[in-house]
Amino acid sequence: MAEVQWFPGHMKKAERMMQDSLKLVDAVCEIVDARIPRSSRNPDLDSIIAGRRPRLLILNRADQADPAVTAQWRAYYKAQGTPFLECDALSGRGVKELPRALRALQGKQGPMRAMVAGVPNVGKSTFINKVSRRKTAATSDRPGVTRGKQWVTVDDQLELLDTPGILWPKFDDPAVGDRLAFTGAVKDDVLDGEALAARLLVTLRESYPKALTERYKIVLLPEAQGWELLEACARKRGFLMAGGAVDTERMAAVLLDEFRGGKLGRISLERPTC
Ligand SMILES: Nc1nc2c(ncn2[C@@H]2O[C@H](COP(=O)(O)OP(=O)(O)O)[C@@H](O)[C@H]2O)c(=O)[nH]1
Ligand SMILES: [Mg+2]
């Protein structure tokens, strides 16, 4: 992961754009993925905001996260005094709390403007659409769709600025890069899908073995390597190539797709404690 050159020019541009836009807003909504609330926080956002604006943390995709783990995060943020909101932008659960939460953060009356920031594909545009009950912010199931600067009027009291998703140039911890890739924040075309899928299988064997055995009907030997698990899944699915070799490339794509699509159930890859 770390060796891949994947910090594209448009992300650098986006960082500059956010820096410039900061003076136009009263607050920043940082949207994170509830399945990876730590890894999906961009460390560069701290230096972009530099304490100049209050920040509301928004745990989106709560519908895909393990509810028991999300409860741990809730307790953790409360103990830390971190203002946060938990939601599911697809169904809209929790999003209507936004104006109230921003108001509490700000402690001021009158119209407010907030910038919505976050890594690619976390649900920024979907969230904005739900809050504003419009279809103005472009959404996509691929990272990197929002490119320009987009203001969306919610009502006469609130305006939101959609921003392109940004990542940061280097992951200090390769596990962070993996988690962002598992959940779809990093574009697939810069990744080795089979290696990634193999690592996802090892991760899931550790924390959600039942999800794996139920979906793919494989035996989870503790000593099996990730690629062996991937082969086992491919065999069970009948993904064979001419000559009889298992098509692990196809299985990798299917696994990542099914994981991201929630077919393996509600899974969280990070807890406040580890
Ligand atoms: N299950 C689920 N899917 C979501 C949620 N929020 C967004 N999505 C989906 O994730 C994909 C990316 O959303 P988008 O808003 O374009 O992400 P952005 O890149 O951060 O603007 C879309 O297919 C959305 O429908 C959510 O809370 N739950
Ligand atoms: Mg977007």
Q: Which helix (H) or strand (E) holds 151?
A: strand 150-155
The residue whose CA is least distant from atom 7 of ligand 1 is: 123
Per-residue pLDDT band for 15 (boundaries 50, 70, 90) equals: confident
Both 202 and 156 in one domain: the answer is no
Domain count for the chain? 2
Both 201 and 120 in one domain: the answer is no
Residue 274 maps to a domain? no
How would DSSP label each residue in 54-82?
-EEEEEE-TTTS-HHHHHHHHHHHHHHT-
Q: Which of 131, 139, 186 to mutate to test the pocket of ligand 1 (most atoms within 8 A of CB)?
A: 139
Both 116 and 227 in one domain: the answer is no
* CATH number reported for the structural domain that contains residue 152 in this entry: 3.40.50.300
Atom of ligand 1 lying closest to residue 138 CA = 16
On whether the CB atoms of residues 165 and 137 are closer than 8 A, the answer is: no
Atom of ligand 1 lying closest to residue 89 CA = 27
Atom of ligand 1 lying closest to residue 60 CA = 27
Both 216 and 256 in one domain: the answer is yes
| Amino acid (one-letter) located at 120 | P
The residue whose CA is least distant from atom 16 of ligand 1 is: 139
d(CA 246, CA 230): 9
Both 135 and 63 in one domain: the answer is yes
Q: Is the pLDDT of residue 2 over 50?
A: no
Q: What is the mean pLDDT of residues 36-40?
A: 97
Q: Is the pLDDT of residue 146 over 70?
A: no
Question: Is the entire prediction scored with pTM above 0.75?
Answer: yes
Residue 131 maps to a domain? yes
Residue with tokens 């009356």: 109
Residue 137 maps to a domain? yes
Both 39 and 90 in one domain: the answer is yes
Both 72 and 151 in one domain: the answer is yes
Residue 101 maps to a domain? yes
Residue 98 maps to a domain? yes
Atom of ligand 1 lying closest to residue 119 CA = 20
The per-residue pLDDT for range 50-89, each reduced to its tens digit, is: 899 999 999 999 999 999 999 999 999 999 999 999 999 9
User: How far does residue 229's CA lie from ligand 2's centre (Å)?
Assistant: 34
* CATH number reported for the structural domain that contains residue 222 in this entry: 1.10.1580.10
d(CA 72, CA 82): 14
Per-residue pLDDT band for 154 (boundaries 50, 70, 90) equals: very high
Q: Which of 141, 162, 183 lies at the terminal end of a domain, its last residue?
A: 162
pLDDT cut 70: percent of the chain above it: 91
Residue 273 maps to a domain? no
Q: Is the pLDDT of residue 148 over 70?
A: no
Both 72 and 130 in one domain: the answer is yes
Per-residue pLDDT band for 12 (boundaries 50, 70, 90) equals: confident
Least Cα distance to 148 among 130, 136, 135, 134 occurs for 136
Both 198 and 107 in one domain: the answer is no
Both 153 and 196 in one domain: the answer is no
Residues at CB less than 6 angstroms from ligand 1: 60-61, 63-64, 88-90, 118, 120-126, 139-141, 143, 145-146, 165
Q: Which of 35, 40, 115, 126 to mutate to test the pocket of ligand 1 (most atoms within 8 A of CB)?
A: 126
pLDDT of residue 1: 47
Backbone torsions φ then ψ of 254, nearest 5 degrees: -65, -45
Both 225 and 145 in one domain: the answer is no
Residue 270 maps to a domain? no
What mean pLDDT is reported for the chain?
A: 90
Both 234 and 158 in one domain: the answer is no
- Which range of residues forms the domain containing residue 253? 192-260
Residue 220 maps to a domain? yes
